[in-house]
Amino acid sequence: MTSGIEPRDHRDRYAVIGNPVAHSKSPWIHARFAEQTGEAIEYGRVLGTIGAFSGDVRAFVEAGGRGMNVTVPFKLDAHAFATTLTPRAAAAGALNTLAFNADGVLGDNTDGVGLVRDIEQNLGVGLKGARVLLLGAGGAARGVVLPMLDGGVAALTIVNRTASKAQQLVDHFSDAAHAAHVRFSGGGADSVEAGPYDVIVNATAGSLDDALPDCDDASFGPGTLAYDMMYSAQPTVFMRHADSLGARSADGLGMLVEQAAESFFLWRGVRPDSGAVLRALRLELSTKV
């Protein structure tokens, strides 16, 4: 005999954890991925407690959580929490994705592959043989170096206001660069090579404060893609500066969608149509200007 009550559909639980986290577009993005693919998931936000990341994650897992995206300021905490790392996560030293399974906690960093896919697939700029200038040497920069080296760039220059931090990244990835036959250098503003670069990536947080990173105007040309890893409804100060110098500019919204698609694939084994979701998200943001 049955009660006549339909059981609630089982949906695997995922979430993004950060502080702050209310602004995150990840729930919107993953809801679109789920609709596309028919995957039965629910995806929410977790406001992480500073100094108590492990406890917050364990509580989520105990409540049935299957995976999490990790945003500021917990990417280093996530690296320490994971029991197994993908090669790109180990190289980056920071995580943005956790997957919980019977074997433990798998940590991944999908930021770099998200950047590369956005540049190559959505923006149509090939990285193979390109000269790339990476502005900044913090966690955002660290997460994208290896995927760019793997993407077949000819040269990668890292420039940071504190030159020693750029040199530390060069030292850390020198073996990978050597194996990929990439001309690899870094330091302060004087490390910039002569002539326009093919791609310039702003991995600093300057656009949040409407501040330009240290960059040489001669590095921008009509064939340059100037890519800001930040995004907003309006062009960032870095994008406006690049436009004024005749370069093509782009924001990091596509990177956000592409890194989310890689996380979704890691969790579900299904690759969503990220391009369709990116177009819908851009339209969604444009209506709120």
Q: Is 223 annotated as a binding residue?
A: no
Task: Tell which residue, 33, 13, 34, 16, has the closest CA to residue 25.
Answer: 16
Task: Tell which residue, 118, 109, 112, has the closest CA to residue 134.
Answer: 112
Pairing of strands 183-187, 155-159: parallel
Q: Is 128 annotated as a binding residue?
A: no
Q: Is 160 annotated as a binding residue?
A: yes
Q: Is 110 annotated as a binding residue?
A: no
Residue 121: what residue type? Q
Structural contact between residues 213 and 230, judged by C-beta atoms closer than 8 angstroms: no
Structural contact between residues 81 and 53, judged by C-beta atoms closer than 8 angstroms: yes
Residue 67: what residue type? G
Q: Hunting for tokens 């690296």 — which residue is that? A: 79
Q: What is the DSSP string of 21-54?
A: -TT--HHHHHHHHHHHHT--EEEEEEEPPTT-HH
Give the span between the Cα atoms of 219 and 239, in whole angstroms. Answer: 14
128 is catalytic: no
In the set 30, 32, 66, 75, the catalytic residue is: 75
Q: Is 226 annotated as a binding residue?
A: no
Q: Is 96 annotated as a binding residue?
A: yes
Cα→Cα distances 98→44, 262, 276, Å: 15, 12, 25
Q: Is 259 annotated as a binding residue?
A: yes
Structural contact between residues 70 and 16, judged by C-beta atoms closer than 8 angstroms: yes
* Residues making up the binding site: 24-26, 71, 96, 111, 136-140, 160-165, 229, 231, 252, 259
The binding site for NADP(+) comprises 136-140, 160-165, 229, 252
Task: Enumerate the known binding-site residues for shikimate.
Answer: 24-26, 71, 96, 111, 231, 259
Catalogue the active-site residues.
Answer: 75
